Amino acid sequence: MSDTYGGGLTAEQSRRIVDIAMDLARQGSTGQLVEFVEHGLPVDTADTGANTLLMVASYHGHAGMVRALLELGADPDLRNARDQSPLAGALFKGADEVVAVLRDAGADLDAGVPTARAAAALFGRRHLFPDQL
């Protein structure tokens, strides 16, 4: 996030906003996070590890927030610096409802390492993709 966010914020101020947004995603504070995005925070904002708001919300099992971020235009296939997708993160954490939301949004089952297909097999979640594995 550069100084273009919020009309000329410093790099430190921008970093603090991203940190707050990531905490909201971690906590499942959907209403507050949606307000941040509606006031100009890019929906695909990422932390220093390239974890997007959607990745963090998915990993922490916040299906309602995942749905809201997708409705705001979040890309379900953006991977973090370790090439992990939000869908694989949700599978790893056993967040079945998040997996369903991402799958319904068209998340790529073959994106990232491990792919969602591989993660489903690895973590005993094959039942979530009965017609696709």
pLDDT digit string (tens) for 13-34? 999 999 999 999 999 999 999 9
Average pLDDT over every residue of 35-63 = 96
Query: Is the pLDDT assigned to residue 8 strictly greater than 90?
Result: no
Residue ranges of domains in the chain: 11-128
Per-residue tokens: 85:
């997708």
Q: How confident is the model at residue 7 (pLDDT cuts 50, 70, 90)?
A: low
Contacts of 18 (CB under 8 A, 6+ apart): 1, 45, 46, 47
Per-residue tokens: 102:
């991402």
Q: What does pLDDT average to over the chain?
A: 91
**Model pTM?**
0.89
Question: CATH number of the domain at 11-128, please?
Answer: 1.25.40.20
Looking at residue 2, its pLDDT comes to 40
